[in-house]
Structure 1
Amino acid sequence: MSSRRNFIQMVAAPLLAMPLISQAENSNPIYEPLADGPVLKVALLGLGGYANIVARAMQGCKRAKITALISGTPEKLEQWGEKYQVPKNQRFSYDELHKIKNNPDIDAVYIMTPNSRHPEFAIQVAQLGKHVISEKPMATNVKDAQKMIDACKKAGVKLLIGYRMHFEPNTLEIIQKREAGEFGKILFFQGLSGFIIGDPKQWRLNKILAGGGSMMDIGIYSINGARYMVGEEPVWVTAQETKTDPVKFKEGVDETIQFQMGFPSGAVASCLSTYALNNLDKFYLNGTKGFAEMMPSTGYGPIKAKTNKGELSFAHVTHQTIQMDEFAAIIHDNKVPKIPVDGEEGLKDMKIIEAIFEAVKTGKKVSLS
Structure 2
Amino acid sequence: MKIGIISFAHTHAAAYAAILRDRPDVECIATDPGHTTRAAGESGGRELAEQIGIGYVDTIDELLAWRPDAVVVTSENARHADDAVRAAAAGAHVLCEKPLATTRADALRIIDACEKAGVWLMTAFPVRFTPQYARLAHRVQAGDLGAVLSISGANNGRLPTARAWFTDPALAGGGAVADHTVHVADLIFGLFPEVDASEVFAVANRMLHPQREAETAGLVSIRYANGLTAVIDCSWSVPEHYPTWGGLTMRLITETGTAELAPFAEHLDGFAEADRSPIWVPHGTDLDAAMLDEFISAIAADRQPTPSGRDGLRALDVVLAAYESIATGQPVTVGAAE
How many angstroms apart in 2 are the aligned matches of 1:117 and 1:98?
A: 15
What is the one-letter code of the residue matched to 2:212?
F
Q: Which residue of 141, 145, 153 corresponds with 2:115?
A: 153
Query: In structure 2, what is the Cα distance between the partners aligned to 1:177 and 1:303?
Result: 25
Q: CA RMSD in A?
A: 2.7
Partner of 1:92: 57
Of 93, 108, 126, 1:164 maps to: 126
* 8 Å contact from structure 1 (residues 61, 324) kept in 2: no
Q: Compared with structure 1, are the counterparts of its residues 108 and 208 closer, same or farther at alpha carbon in structure 2 (3 Å cutoff)?
A: same
Q: 1:70-90: per-residue Cα shift (whole Å, max 9, x none)?
A: 112489454345445545xxx
Contact 1:186 1:230 in 2 (8 A): no
Q: 1:222 to 1:81 in 2, by over 3 A?
A: closer
- Cα deviation for residue 148 of structure 1 reads 0.8
Deviations 1:318-345 (A, max 9, x none): 11111111101111203455xx312111
Q: Find the counterpart in structure 1 of residue 92 from structure 2.
A: 130
Question: Superposition pairs for residues 254-269 of structure 1, below 5 Å?
Answer: 254-269=215-230
- 1:342 maps to a residue whose letter is S
Per-residue CA distance 1:58-116 (angstroms, 9 max, x = gap): 355465x24211112489454345445545xxx2223xx22344635x21111111111
> Unaligned 5+ residue runs, structure 2?
37-42, 240-245, 269-282
Q: Which amino acid aligns with 2:62?
A: K
Q: What CA distance in whole angstroms lies between the structure 1 residues aligned with 2:138 and 2:69?
A: 32
Do the aligned residues in 1 keep the contact of 2:172 with 2:178 (CA within 8 Å)?
Answer: yes
Quick one: structure 1 residues 303 and 261, their matched pair in 2 at CA, closer, same or farther if it must change by over 3 Å? farther
Deviations 1:231-264 (A, max 9, x none): 53211111122332674232xx222221111122
Are 1:111 and 2:57 matched, yes or no? no
Taking structure 1 as reference, are residues 195 and 83 closer, same or farther at Cα in structure 2, changes over 3 Å only? closer
Out of 187-196 and 169-178, give the one that drifted further: 187-196
TM superposition score normalised by structure 2:
0.81
- 2:289 matched to which residue of 1? 321
Residue identity matched to 1:345: D
Unaligned segments of structure 1, at least 5 residues? 1-39, 305-314
Q: Identify which of 300, 314, 326 aligns with 1:332.
A: 300
Matches within 5 A, 1:136-285: 136-197=98-159, 199=161, 202-231=164-193, 232-244=195-207, 247-250=210-213, 253-277=214-238, 281-285=248-252
- Within the candidate set 289, 307, 317, 2:256 is matched to 289
* Alpha-carbon distance in structure 2 between the residues aligned to 1:346 and 1:201: 22
For residues 328 and 303 of structure 1, do their structure 2 counterparts lie closer, same or farther at Cα, with a shift above 3 Å needed? farther
Aligned residue for 1:215, secondary structure, equals: helix
Partners of 1:364 and 1:254 in 2: how far apart?
A: 18
C-alpha deviation, 1:117, in angstroms: 1.0
Q: Does the Cα contact within 8 Å between 1:237 and 1:368 map onto a contact in 2?
A: yes
Counterpart for residue 273 of structure 2: none
Separation in structure 2 between the aligned mates of residue 46 and residue 99 of structure 1, nearest angstrom:
13
Once the two structures are superposed, what CA deviation does each residue of 1:209-246 show, in whole Å capped at 9, x if it has no partner? Answer: 11100012122222222322455321111112233267
What CA distance in whole angstroms lies between the structure 1 residues aligned with 2:209 and 2:219? 17
**Other-structure match for 1:79:** 47
Contact 1:122 1:134 in 2 (8 A): yes
Aligned length: 306
Aligned-residue sequence identity (percent) comes to 22
Read off the aligned partner of 1:93 and give its amino acid letter. Answer: D
Give the whole-Å Cα distance in 1 for the aligned partners of 2:50 and 2:128. 32
1:361 equivalenced with 2:327 (yes/no): yes
Q: Would the alpha carbon gap of residues 131 and 303 (structure 1) be closer, same or farther in structure 2, given more than 3 Å must change?
A: farther
CA 1:102 to 1:270, structure 2 compared with 1: closer, same or farther past 3 Å? same
Cα distance in 1 between the residues matched to 2:86 and 2:299: 19
